[in-house]
Structures are given as C-alpha cells and as structure tokens.
C-alpha cells in the first residue's frame, strides 16, 4: 500500500518499484529525506557532465551524550540515543560520567544527558565525582552550549529524578541553552524515552544541517553497545518454566530466601554472569480485589485479571496521592501533599491504605488513570551460562511485614514464594550489567563480598571460573544472620573449596554471638591478606543491600586501604576510587 505523502501510484515506476520506494521512504527521518533530495538532484547534474553523482556537503552536528547510570538503564538509553543520532546525521559520541571531566562540557556544542537517581536522591556512584564537580564553583560557563536532560527514577522514591533535575537546573545556571524540556521518567520509561530522544534530536538539528546533512557510513555499535541490547527486554519478555523452587533457609530461620531455576523457552536467551534477570511479576489477586473493593469495583473477575498483570496496585507515591486528591477533590488529603508529612505517613503503608483511609468510589477508567504499569523486578543472576546451560538461576528474598493491622508482602518475591510452583511459567528478560564482570584475565584473583541475597552473583562467578578452569584465586566474604539456618549454598561452597574453584571463604553470622559481626568486620580482621590480594591485582566485588551493607563495606575498604598509609582516610578514598576507575572495584547494589 502506498504511504500517504510518498510516491503516488501515478508515478513513472512499476507498481512493485513504487512499493519498494515507499517501503524505504516510510522509514526515513526528515534529515534523510532532505539528503535524498539533494542527492538525487546532484545525480542528474553529474549525469549531464559525465561526472560521479554529487554528494551534498558534509555537515555533521557534534553531539555529546553523557550518562549517569548505576544498573544500566540510563546507559542503555544513551546508547540507543547515539544510534538514533548517527542516523540523523549527528557526529555523536557517548560518554559515561565516570570517565568524563568538566572539560568535556566546555568543548561540547550539544549535550544530551541521561541520568538516573539512586540512594536517596543521589547520583549513581560512578557518576558521583563528575556530579560534584558540576555542582561546584569549578564548573565552567557554558554559553553557546545547547542541552537537554532525560531523568530516570522511580516515583516510589521521595526524591523522584533528583539527579536529572539538578543537572538540568545546573546546566542552565551555567549559561547553557535548554534545547528541549526535561523528561522525568518512571520505571515505564522505554517508549517515552525513545519518543523524547527523537523529538529532542530534531530540536538539536540546526536548520542548515536539516537541509544538507549527509548520512555517512557509521558504526552503530558504540563501546559496550552490543552488551546493552539483549533480545529479551521488559517490553519483549520470554516465558520461562520454573524448574526448581526451594527455600534455602532452615525451618527455624527468620529469613526466607528462594532459589529459583528458570528454563527460558528460547534458544537465543543469553546472559552473562554479573547480569540481572528481570521478572515481570503478577500481583496477589486477593490484594487486587481488596483494592478494587475499596473503590467500589470489587468482585469483577475480568478487572481482577487485568490488574493482576497490568498495574502497580501497591506502591504509594506522592504524585499518586496528589492525583487522587485532585480527582476526588478531598480537602483532607492536603496535609499529605507536604513531602515530610507524606513520607512519615507512607513509610509502612500501601495504596490500599489511601483508598480505605480516604474512601471514594472510582470508575475503572479513573482507577487505571491513577495507577502506573506494574514494573519488572531485577534479580542478580545466580548461575553461569557455561555451567548451567539453558538455565538462569536467581535468589529471591521474600519481603513480608505487618503494619496497621494488615499482613503485607512484596509483589515479585511473594509471587515466587506463594503463587508459583515448579512447572509454572514466569515472564523474564535480561538486564545486562557490564559494570559487574569477572576480570577478562582469569588468572587475576577476585574478592567477592556479599550478604544475604548479595551472594547470588558469586554463585555464577565461581561456577563460571570453575568451568573455564580459571587459574586465579577467589575469596568469598558471606554474611547472614545465623550459621545453622542461613548459610546460603553452603554445600556448594564446600564443594568448590574442595575442588579449588573457591580458594577461601570467610563468613559473618551476625546473630550467632552477643555482638553483631558483619562482613565488613571480617574484612578488617583479614586486612593484611586483603592488601596482599590487592597487590596481586585482585578485583573486588560488593553485592547486596545498599544501605545496610554496601555503604559499610565501602567505608571499611577505605579504612583498610588507609591503613597502608598511616590511616590517612583521604588517601584510602583516593585509592578505592582508583580501583573503581580501573574496573577493580565493582558493585551490584540495591
């Protein structure tokens, strides 16, 4: 079928040629069409004089795409933006803020920023130095620079998209010109980010380049780009059968940690150790029905089915409360619009508490208008593609608590713990993490530090190195509450110790003695050997809870490194940064 506005049927071409032309034209950008116009005109001129077809002059607008990313989302978007920009005729390069200095900004003409927010409104850890420098007095004036910022975040957090917002404001304050307004995107960012990128690139294209830009031969694969483009994504998941589902904790444990073995129904499902597996969970139908009842829509089976998969029915966010207040006109919600009051009220509540505490009847349309799509959850892959061919394993800690007279549970973790069994399927995808990789040289030693589910990727690492016959030594620091009940994968570690695949293990069971002992304390006790391993080129990994463990381990590593230089903590910090820059200190924290 001819595409409106392109080659009409009356054109002097055969019908199949018209289809081919329309097929090509339908996929072109305005810049590509402008180029074609010039190219065809030049071709005629060339024929008349017997010369080669003329190409219009090369005008390639420079574009610097900067990203700040912890777990790869902003990085993936930056790589996609580069591809789109090259197609539009930009001379585009992608830079991780971790590798960028302020000089990058001074020399840039056009800047696209993709930045996520972590911790409590903080920049991703690798971007922290660049971010601090940008916010400092050292930052250069940026007159003549055009920019646009895409901020990634999660509306469940109080400081939604704080990093992107701050960068956007700072670039303007430094005199740069905002080429497009900032986008603040929640976890359902994929489609919105692609649209924003396309619109923004068009705005960044100067009119003269639109008319004469040439599409040059370009290598679309930037550094690491291939790694960031898995076949199976949150938008294109694959069904995987649950082959094994066991709670690894003993019966007396206060923990519940599920080892899940998944068999994806696709031969091209590929991941690397260090990646995360994304899971598209389903809500508890009981929770869904309670929510529907609270707004006067209970008992509708079709609605329940739709909400079980489609919507986030638990997360309470300030934007949602604001939208509910506006929709219902309830004055008593005004107090919750204030950030501190909202945070205090929402701390141990969920959406159902809003609808039950401030009840109103809603239509299904009004309710879906308030809710965000149910986001996927990430789990560090606990297997090795070499050792566990055709499978992906994950380790899922069940999230359960009680508050305000109600038993509550995390959506995805209880999906595995309570609502799935062996033989059922789940929808999964891959989230590559090229910043959590074993050393390329397998003779290098590795020090792996993790507590609780943070041990997951090391099961993959050790299995991978065992399978590859790696020469390098490996040392695991593992922490949990109790030796008898919580020593996750204990027999596997013992087997690996016997075979030599694991050189050493140090454990910290916090509740087995009167004083609390954590992994960071074990690290301190073993600091002399840690120094030796580092001197031998060891790579250090930290995985697990960010607030509860990774920060303490980070501080302890600084102390350990400082202990070599008379306890100078600044020197310790500088050394840890050097290790991170060299890819020898990598974190997978959440």
Ligand X SMILES: Cc1cc2nc3c(=O)[nH]c(=O)nc-3n(C[C@H](O)[C@H](O)[C@H](O)COP(=O)(O)O)c2cc1C
Which residues of the shown chain bind ligand X in the complex (CB under 6 A)? 69-75, 116-121, 124, 152-154, 157, 159-162, 546, 590
Beta strands in 97-171 (DSSP E): 110-116, 146-152
| Residue 380, contacted partner among ligand FAD, ligand X, none, CB below 5-8 A by kind | ligand FAD
Q: Name the DSSP class of 436.
A: S
Instruction: Give yes or no for residue 351 binding ligand FAD (CB under 6 A).
Output: no
Query: ∠ CA(63), CA(65), CA(68), 5° rounding?
Result: 165
Smallest distance from ligand X to CB 50, Å: 55
Query: ∠ CA(43), CA(48), CA(49), 5° rounding?
Result: 100
Closer CB to ligand FAD, residue 87 or residue 431?
431
Tell which one of 110, 117, 125, 314 touches ligand FAD (CB under 6 A). 314
| Residue 377, contacted partner among ligand X, ligand FAD, none, CB below 5-8 A by kind | ligand FAD
Q: Which stretch binds ligand FAD (CB under 6 A): 110-118, 185-193, 375-383, 439-447?
A: 375-383
Closer CB to ligand FAD, residue 66 or residue 187?
187
| Residue 362, contacted partner among ligand FAD, ligand X, none, CB below 5-8 A by kind | none
Closer CB to ligand FAD, residue 117 or residue 314?
314
* C-alpha torsion sign, points 511, 448, 153, 99: positive
Region for 140 from its dihedrals, namely left if φ exceeds 0, alpha if ψ lies in -120 to 50, beta otherwise: beta
Tell which one of 429, 458, 493, 590 touches ligand FAD (CB under 6 A). 590
Closer CB to ligand FAD, residue 147 or residue 379?
379
Calpha distance 209→88 (Å, rounded)? 10
Closest CA to 213 of 335, 382, 32, 483: 32
456 Cβ contact list (under 8 Å, min separation 6): 379, 380, 381, 382, 394, 395, 450, 543
**Burial class, 13, CB count within 10 angstroms (exposed 0-12 / middle 13-18 / buried 19+):** middle
User: How distant, in Å, are the alpha carbons of 48, 396, 400, 507, 548 from that of 252?
Assistant: 89, 18, 16, 19, 23
**Segment (H or E) for 448:** strand 446-451
Calpha distance 160→45 (Å, rounded)? 56
Looking at the DSSP bridge assignments, the partners of residue 488 are none
Smallest distance from ligand FAD to CB 583, Å: 18
Closest CA to 361 of 306, 318, 298: 298
Closer CB to ligand X, residue 255 or residue 435?
435
Calpha distance 79→66 (Å, rounded)? 10
Closer CB to ligand X, residue 89 or residue 432?
432
Smallest distance from ligand FAD to CB 545, Å: 9
Smallest distance from ligand X to CB 240, Å: 22
Smallest distance from ligand X to CB 119, Å: 6
Smallest distance from ligand X to CB 276, Å: 10
| Residue 397, contacted partner among ligand FAD, ligand X, none, CB below 5-8 A by kind | ligand FAD
Instruction: Give yes or no for residue 572 binding ligand FAD (CB under 6 A).
Output: no
Instruction: Give yes or no for residue 378 binding ligand FAD (CB under 6 A).
Output: yes
Calpha distance 384→461 (Å, rounded)? 7
Instruction: Give yes or no for residue 371 binding ligand FAD (CB under 6 A).
Output: no
Calpha distance 30→22 (Å, rounded)? 15
Instruction: Give yes or no for residue 383 binding ligand FAD (CB under 6 A).
Output: no
HEC string for 215-275? CCCCCCCCCCCHHHCCCCECCECEEEEEEEEEECCCCCCCCCEEEEEEEECCCCCCCCCCC
Q: How many CB atoms lie within 10 A of CB 339?
A: 11
Tell which one of 29, 71, 117, 520 touches ligand FAD (CB under 6 A). 71
Classify strands 146-152 and 110-116 as parallel, antiparallel or unpaired.
parallel
Closer CB to ligand FAD, residue 142 or residue 378?
378
| Residue 157, contacted partner among ligand X, ligand FAD, none, CB below 5-8 A by kind | ligand X
Tell which one of 235, 332, 348, 536 touches ligand FAD (CB under 6 A). 348
Tell which one of 453, 474, 520, 586 touches ligand FAD (CB under 6 A). 453
Tell which one of 118, 131, 379, 533 touches ligand FAD (CB under 6 A). 379
Closer CB to ligand FAD, residue 411 or residue 501?
411
Binding mask 394-433 for ligand FAD (x = CB under 6 A): -xxx-x-x-x------xxxx--------------------
In the sheet with 446-451, reading across from the earlier edge strand, the strands are 504-509, 474-480, 446-451, 539-544, 585-589
Closest CA to 307 of 236, 362, 241: 362
Instruction: Give yes or no for residue 116 binding ligand FAD (CB under 6 A).
Output: no
Smallest distance from ligand X to CB 106, Å: 25
Instruction: Give yes or no for residue 317 binding ligand FAD (CB under 6 A).
Output: no
Interaction site with ligand FAD (CB under 6 A): 71, 276, 281, 314, 348, 377-380, 395-397, 399, 401, 403, 410-413, 453, 456, 588, 590
């Amino acid at each position: 079928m001819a595409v409106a506005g392109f080659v009409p049927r009356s054109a002097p071409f055969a019908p199949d040629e018209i289809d081919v032309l329309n097929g090509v034209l339908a996929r072109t950008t305005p810049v590509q069409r402008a180029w074609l116009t010039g190219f065809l005109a030049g071709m005629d001129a060339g024929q008349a004089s017997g010369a080669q077809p003329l190409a219009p002059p090369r005008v390639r607008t420079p574009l610097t795409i900067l990203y700040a990313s912890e777990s790869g989302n902003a990085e993936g978007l930056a790589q996609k933006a580069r591809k789109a920009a090259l197609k539009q005729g930009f001379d585009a390069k992608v830079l991780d803020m971790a590798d960028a200095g302020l000089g990058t900004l001074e020399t840039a003409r056009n800047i696209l920023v993709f930045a996520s927010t972590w911790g409590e409104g903080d920049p991703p850890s690798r971007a922290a130095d660049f971010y601090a420098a940008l916010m400092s007095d050292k930052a250069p004036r940026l007159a003549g620079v055009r920019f646009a910022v895409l901020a990634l975040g999660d509306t469940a957090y109080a400081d939604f998209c704080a990093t992107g917002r701050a960068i956007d404001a700072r670039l303007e304050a430094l005199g740069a010109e905002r080429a497009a307004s900032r986008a603040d995107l929640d976890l359902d960012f994929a489609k919105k980010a692609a649209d924003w990128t396309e619109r923004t690139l068009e705005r960044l294209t100067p009119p003269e380049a639109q008319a004469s830009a040439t599409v040059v031969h370009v290598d679309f694969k930037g550094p690491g780009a291939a790694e960031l483009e898995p076949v199976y994504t949150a938008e294109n998941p694959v069904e995987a059968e649950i082959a094994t589902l066991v709670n690894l904790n003993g019966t007396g444990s206060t923990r519940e940690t599920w080892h899940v073995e998944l068999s994806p129904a696709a031969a091209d499902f590929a991941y690397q150790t260090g990646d995360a597996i994304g899971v598209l969970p389903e809500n508890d139908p009981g929770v869904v029905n309670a929510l529907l009842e609270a707004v006067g829509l209970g008992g509708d089976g079709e609605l329940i089915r739709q909400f079980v998969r489609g919507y986030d029915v638990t997360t309470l966010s300030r934007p949602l409360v604001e939208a509910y207040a506006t929709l219902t006109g309830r004055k008593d919600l005004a107090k919750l619009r204030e950030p501190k009051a909202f945070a205090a009220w929402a701390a141990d509540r969920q959406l159902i508490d809003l609808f039950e505490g401030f009840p109103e009847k809603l239509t299904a349309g009004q309710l879906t208008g308030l809710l965000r799509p149910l986001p996927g959850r990430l789990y560090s892959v606990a297997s090795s593609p070499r050792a566990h061919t055709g499978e992906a394993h994950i380790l899922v800690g069940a999230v359960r608590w009680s508050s305000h007279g109600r038993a509550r549970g995390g959506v995805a973790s209880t999906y595995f713990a309570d609502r799935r069994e062996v033989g059922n399927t789940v929808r999964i995808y891959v989230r590559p993490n090229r910043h959590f990789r074993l050393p390329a040289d397998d003779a290098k030693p590795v020090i792996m530090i993790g507590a609780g589910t943070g041990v997951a990727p090391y099961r993959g690492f050790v299995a991978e190195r065992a399978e590859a016959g790696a020469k390098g030594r490996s040392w695991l620091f593992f922490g949990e509450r109790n030796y008898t009940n919580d020593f996750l994968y204990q027999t596997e570690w013992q087997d690996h110790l016997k075979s030599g695949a694991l050189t050493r293990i140090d454990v910290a069971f916090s509740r087995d003695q009167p004083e609390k002992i954590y992994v960071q304390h074990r690290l301190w006790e073993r600091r002399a050997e840690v120094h030796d391993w580092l001197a031998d080129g060891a790579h250090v990994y930290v995985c697990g809870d960010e607030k509860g463990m990774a920060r303490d381990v980070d501080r302890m590593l600084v102390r350990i490194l400082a202990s070599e230089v008379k306890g100078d903590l600044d020197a310790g910090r500088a050394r840890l940064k050097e290790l991170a820059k060299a890819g020898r200190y990598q974190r997978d924290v959440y």
